[in-house]
Structure 1
Amino acid sequence: MAGGKLSLSASSPRVDFHVDMGNPFLNRAADGFLTIGAVAVTKVVAEDTYHCLRKGSVSEHTLKETFKKMCKEGAYWGAVGGTYAGMEYSIRRIRDRNDWKNALLGGFITGALVSAASKKSRDEVVKGAITGGAVATAARFINHLG
């Protein structure tokens, strides 16, 4: 029996977009806002396109509602992404280290802030902080696997 090897390679398109606000903290926060906000907008477009295709029609009202959802989700998730990017950068500068603990602390603080800003109970704020820290740390580890 002959042996074989399968190798796959994929590369995503890259769009270089740089905003220079004159301050590294603000640059990171703006980049996080734009990156995660764009992901949220794309999610809304994909979901609403599916619903329109399934329904078989598109109306002006549907387009207006989609645009509103794009703005709302983009702004919300962009704010979360910008907050996390700013927190993680600040913690890295304070600790003078670049390791997984920065992601943990940045996610923890961001999760707590987002939950508190949403007027959640104390237990929900703690859960949000733990979830934020866990997700950020897991993402950091997954990012560094390959």
Structure 2
Amino acid sequence: MGHNLETRSLMDELKSFDRKGGLFDLGHPLLNRMAECFVKAAGIGAVQAVTREAYLTATEGGDSTSIPPEIPARRKKHRFSELRGETNRSSVEALVKSTGKESLQWGLAAGMYSGITYGLKETRGVHDWKNSAMAGAITGAALALTFDDSSHEEIVQAAITGAAISTAANLLTGIF
């Protein structure tokens, strides 16, 4: 009795995404690219949110005065303020809510950036640093708008930072 089952490792599955064209087939390359970037970045954002909270909890040791001075005052604040030593339902809900918000921000930023660069490439017919700068600026400003206390200066600063980082990444592509 022969079995026709193919045994594939996780790495084989991940490598096959390149041949298939990605994780999604939503009918248009723009939608596929945006959805794929959203999912990947959202996962990274969730991991980052949880690890940051774990780090702050471990370094504080229950005392907010023991936070290392190199962490800016904005970052010293726990995102999961309801988690302080609790193991009840509200702490799990706070973890899910806060992690979800942060992963959504990361996902939206990556999806938006990818979509804008793809759209500019199709519109202008070329992918260059100008597309990256514009996409980075728009994405940075949009991301700053998702923060609770964003001022005009912070939005402009985020747009400039997004443009600078994406332009540098585009110009350094292929060098390393």
TM-score tier by shorter-chain length is 0.7 to 0.9
Quick check: 1:44–1:66 contact (8 Å CA) kept in 2? no
**Which residue of the other structure, out of 141, 161, 173, is the alignment partner of 1:131?**
161
Query: 1:36 offset after TM fit, Å?
Result: 1.4
**Displacement of 1:64:** 2.8
Q: Please give the TM-score of this superposition, normalised by the length of structure 2.
A: 0.62
Count of paired positions: 134
Partner of 2:137: 108
Once the two structures are superposed, residues 114-146 of structure 1 have per-residue CA deviations (whole angstroms, 9 ceiling, x without a partner) of: 445669555444333222111111222344322
* Aligned residue number for residue 5 of structure 1: none
Once the two structures are aligned, what percentage of the paired residues are identical?
31
Q: Give yes or no for contact 1:48–1:66 (8 Å, CA) kept in 2.
A: no
Q: Say whether 1:140 aligns with 2:153.
A: no
- What's the CA shift for 1:39? 0.9
Is the CA contact 2:105–2:143 (under 8 Å) kept in the aligned structure 1?
no
Instruction: Provide the residue aligned with 2:95 in structure 1.
Output: 66
Between 1:62-71 and 1:43-52, the stretch displaced more is 43-52
Contact 1:100-1:137 at 8 Å conserved across structures? yes
CA distance in structure 2 between the partners assigned to 1:71 and 1:122 by the alignment = 26
Gaps of 5+ in 2: 1-10, 63-84
Secondary structure of 2:105's counterpart equals helix
Pair 1:66–1:120, CA change in 2 (3 A): closer
Inter-partner Cα distance in structure 1 for 2:137 and 2:130? 10
**Alignment check: 8 A CA contact 1:52 1:58 kept:** no
The question of 1:90 aligning with 2:95 is answered no
CA RMSD of aligned residues (A): 3.0
How far 1:53 moved relative to its partner?
A: 5.5
